[in-house]
Amino acid sequence: MILITGGAGYIGSHFALKMLETGEDIVIFDSLELGHSEIIEILKKYGNVKFIQGNLKNLEDIRGVFLMNKIDSVVHFAAYSQVAESVKNPQKYYYNNVYATLNLLNAMLEFGVNKIVFSSTSAIYGEPEYIPIDEKHSQNPINAYGNSKLMVERILDDYDKAYGLKSVRLRYFNVAGADLKSRIGEWHEPETHLIPNILKSSGEKTFKMFGDDYDTKDGTCVRDYINILDLVDAHVKALEYLNNGGDTNYFNLGTSEGNTVKEVFNSCEEVTGREIPIEICPRRAGDPAKLVADNKKAWQILGWKPEKSLKDSIQSASDWEIYRASNL
């Protein structure tokens, strides 16, 4: 059985759905602080999902999951992930992303579970020294979110050396898009991400573009938008890799292509066929000008390559926004 922490959240729920559709039995553990019970209800329609509401900050909550279920491996999505918030309130991030993960690892060790796929982030690299960013890039996070994820990566290295716990750390770039049938999708409250924010803008509610004076081709930030279904595939491959005896490893997950905020905005207008109200605002603190992945390592070792385009992601995100607005 696979334990999925944060399975009621954006990325975790898409991975959970994929597992259900391939006939896996899964246990989802989620506090529902940011995840949604509605998503769990939707997932239940597609297979054998056991849902346990609990908080990783309570060791006994997570011990109970291992006690009551035969867990073979863990895919650990549960985390806070807002950069700006992490700068204002680092305690929240270290407590939830590091301390809570230590509890999870503690339970894994106690119950002899030695495989984990961990959601890491491009934020562990900090201000890019070169583009595209490969896995050898130096690691100097510039916010508590990136630090919290890097700390867990280091803990995982030490736990492998000492206890033989094998991990694959997947360093996400900008994740975008939704399930192709709009059953689930991105649902953050409040929403801070680019594509849903553009899609939600209409009438008085203008899209706020943070900065048009960066040193990029059109003055707006360049990011690498990786489709959620491609990202999920990488998790499937990472799990297979560990199940086949693969050693601890880490991979960048991106497309290796960059798009500017303006390009994403234009693409959203094209896909939706409507004019979206826009307002140029000052830069958002902590935004590097360019972040683009070098994804060759994931191809060489996991055999993973993204297949979906930015437009595919915007189309599915838009379909999902329309569905959610009237159904959830």
Active site residues: 145
Residue spans of alpha helices (H) in the chain: 10-21, 37-44, 59-68, 83-88, 90-93, 100-110, 144-163, 194-200, 228-243, 261-272, 296-297, 310-327
| Two structure tokens written together for 239 | 């799990």
The span from the CA of 327 to the CA of 128, in Å, is: 41
Read off the tokens for 23.
Answer: 């006939």
Q: What is the DSSP string of 191-206?
A: ---HHHHHHH-BTTB-
Site residues, ligand UDP (CB under 6 A): 83, 174, 192-194, 197, 208-210, 221, 223, 261, 284, 287
Contacting residues for 154 by C-beta, under 8 A, at least 6 apart: none
Q: Give the integer Cα–Cα distance in Å for 215 and 222.
A: 10
β-bridge mates for residue 2, sequence order: 26, 73
Cα(37)–Cα(31) distance, rounded to whole angstroms? 10
Q: CB-based contacts of 327: which residues, under 8 Å, 6+ apart? A: none
Are the CB atoms for 167 and 248 separated by under 8 Å? Answer: yes
| AA identity, residue 257 | E
Angle, helices 310-327 vs 261-272, to 10°: value is: 60
C-alpha angle 49-51-54 in degrees, rounded to nearest 5 = 155
Cα gap 78→280, rounded to integer Å: 33
DSSP class of residue 282 equals P
With H, G, I as helix, E, B as strand and everything else as coil, classify residue 217: coil
